A = this chain, B = another copy of it.
Amino acid sequence: MELVKNFNLRNERNLSMLVDFYEFTMGNGYLKNGYANEIVYFDMFFRRVPDGGGYCIMAGVQQLIEYLSNLKFTVEDIEYLRTKNIFAEEFLDYLKNFQFTCDVWAVPEGYPVFPNEPLVTVKGPAIQAQLIETMVLLTINHQTLIATKANRICRAAKGRPVMEFGSRRAQGYDGAIYGARAAIIGGCSSTACTISDQMFGIPAVGTMAHSWIQLFDDEYTAFKTWAETYPDNCVFLIDTYNVLKSGIPNAIKVFDEVLKPLGKRPSGVRIDSGDITYLSNRCREMLDSAGYNDVKIIVSNSLDEYIIMDVLSQGAEIDSFGVGERLITAKSEPVFGGVYKLVAVGSDNKIKPRIKISENEEKITNPGFKKIYRIFDKKSNKAIADLITLHDEVIDESKPLTIFDPIYTWKVKKLTNFYAKELLVQIFDKGNQVYESPEVIDIREFSIKETEKLWKEVLRFENPHNYYVDLSQKLWDLKHNMLRGFTEEFSSKEN
């Protein structure tokens, strides 16, 4: 089937003004005070995996690329900003002639990622690197949240297909459109969202709503008409009136009367309410005894990973799941707390690291221009740890590598027989795009493979093993010395 793919809806929109207002006030200030072209380094990272999970699934890089490629300000934008009466004409000129010239690195979509490692690093003139903060965060936070939730739900379904059904309950249009994209990256097999199929080539599916049944005078006529219209993909929604007394008997009757004479096999039945374990078991019996043991039972109705695990452990006979609101909003934890922090200032040979101090220890940032290595065991091919290093550090795979816990520093691990893979890839070089995203369905496959490289202890839903994200000795020393400097400075002052 040929698809009209990558219909570029985003290109029709100018989202350059989707910016927190303070990025403009700061930009104007940078320019006025001679800091516009000061080279700075920002890291986007998160601090905690939602739902107590062991890892997240990176997503949103393609939309970040589209945004950065299209970044420009129209005459109307400049006019609007001028009405605020706080921006210098020099700054408005800067925006009018805006040219994005930053270097950007990102972890490719689909990778499992962990707290405190940079998912995106931006290096470039202060005014530019600052201006893109809101959209970097918004794009990566949203899609990573949904891909991560989808990954949990799909793992709970244990190989059964999970369909994304949430558009109507999404938080806004893009919540539906890009949420469906992220759900596929996280492992869903299809979506109900037609435009997402059209844009990204991810399969859209769907059959009937209750309204189809209700439009007809009775359920039997509604099913019969459907079967005559779609004999090749006949899935009935069987809970409009009563699943066991009406839905299943009418479905079987129509399978027998309409499809059997045509030599067609029905595809499935869908249950959207009630006690799904009990109903799926009874439906299975009734279908089997009518000779329809190949007909699938599909279930939807406020599902998530917890309910799916629960009904499967009770012996529910379900072949696939439609998951809506709890996936498309990541209901159990709907915020992905990614942040974008300044980590260094200065061009190549005079980089000055910067740190954000906090009384909450976990909010202290990792200073400096950095990269991430994922270390794999050569024999098992499993991921052992991620090591964050300064940007000029190289790992020599031929020598043993000692890593240590950045807090409990006496906890040391000596690695041999490993290989190291850099996670951050450059996506923009001086403002030019230098990376092409794979197709979404290929990212999905990639993600499944990379997730299989994690130990099962990290995959656990409850109390997973903390995957090691360590700092190189050089980075640790740098951070430690900076922190110590601040502590000494403030401890000498009165409260």
Q: Which residues of A are interface residues toward B (Cβ below 8 A)? A: 1-4, 7, 9, 12-15, 17-26, 28-30, 32-33, 35, 38, 40, 42, 76-77, 79-80, 83-86, 126, 130, 133-134, 137-138, 141-142, 145-146, 165, 167-179, 192-195, 197-198, 204-212, 214-215, 225-226, 229-230, 232-233, 240-242, 244-246, 273-274, 325-326, 329-331, 334-338, 340-342, 345, 354, 356-360, 363, 486, 490, 493-495
Q: Which residues of B contact A146 (CB under 8 A)?
A: 171
Shortest CB distance A258–B (Å):
13
Contact for A210 among B19, B210, B341, B490, CB less than 8 A: B341
Shortest CB distance A405–B (Å):
25
Contact for A273 among B130, B137, B330, B360, CB less than 8 A: B360
In angstroms, Cα B171 to Cα A146, docked, is 9
In angstroms, Cα B495 to Cα A14, docked, is 58
In angstroms, Cα B2 to Cα A354, docked, is 40
In angstroms, Cα B178 to Cα A176, docked, is 14
Q: Which residues of B contact A38 (CB under 8 A)?
A: 215
> Are B168 and A29 in contact, CB atoms less than 8 angstroms apart?
no
| 7 A-B pairs closest in CB distance | A22-B206, A172-B174, A21-B206, A137-B168, A171-B171, A334-B334, A17-B195
Contact for A335 among B80, B326, B493, CB less than 8 A: B326
Chain B residue with Cβ nearest A203: B21
**Given contacts A19-B195, A33-B225, A241-B357, are A171 and B175 in contact (CB under 8 A)?**
yes
> Are A142 and B171 in contact, CB atoms less than 8 angstroms apart?
yes
In angstroms, Cα B10 to Cα A15, docked, is 12
A-B pairs with beta carbons under 8 Å apart, 7 shown: A12-B13, A18-B167, A29-B208, A130-B209, A171-B329, A172-B173, A244-B495
In angstroms, Cα B137 to Cα A193, docked, is 13
Contact for A40 among B165, B170, B215, CB less than 8 A: B215
In angstroms, Cα B356 to Cα A120, docked, is 49
Shortest CB distance A60–B (Å):
10
> Are B80 and A4 in contact, CB atoms less than 8 angstroms apart?
yes
Chain B residue with Cβ nearest A60: B172
> Are A211 and B493 in contact, CB atoms less than 8 angstroms apart?
no
In angstroms, Cα B195 to Cα A325, docked, is 27
Q: Which residues of B contact A141 (CB under 8 A)?
A: 168-169
Q: Which residues of B contact A84 (CB under 8 A)?
A: 1
Q: Which residues of B contact A167 (CB under 8 A)?
A: 18, 20, 134, 138
Chain B residue with Cβ nearest A275: B359
Given contacts A42-B211, A133-B211, A168-B338, 11 further A-B contacts (CB under 8 A): A18-B195, A26-B211, A29-B226, A126-B215, A172-B174, A172-B179, A173-B174, A214-B345, A240-B356, A241-B490, A273-B363
In angstroms, Cα B205 to Cα A490, docked, is 32
> Are A26 and B212 in contact, CB atoms less than 8 angstroms apart?
yes
Contact for A194 among B18, B193, B195, CB less than 8 A: B18
> Are B207 and A22 in contact, CB atoms less than 8 angstroms apart?
yes
Shortest CB distance A126–B (Å):
6
Centre residue among A142, A208, A335 by max chain B CB count within 10 A: A335
> Are A245 and B493 in contact, CB atoms less than 8 angstroms apart?
yes
> Are B241 and A142 in contact, CB atoms less than 8 angstroms apart?
no
> Are B174 and A20 in contact, CB atoms less than 8 angstroms apart?
no
> Are B342 and A325 in contact, CB atoms less than 8 angstroms apart?
no
> Are A192 and B22 in contact, CB atoms less than 8 angstroms apart?
yes
> Are A198 and B20 in contact, CB atoms less than 8 angstroms apart?
no
> Are A175 and B176 in contact, CB atoms less than 8 angstroms apart?
no
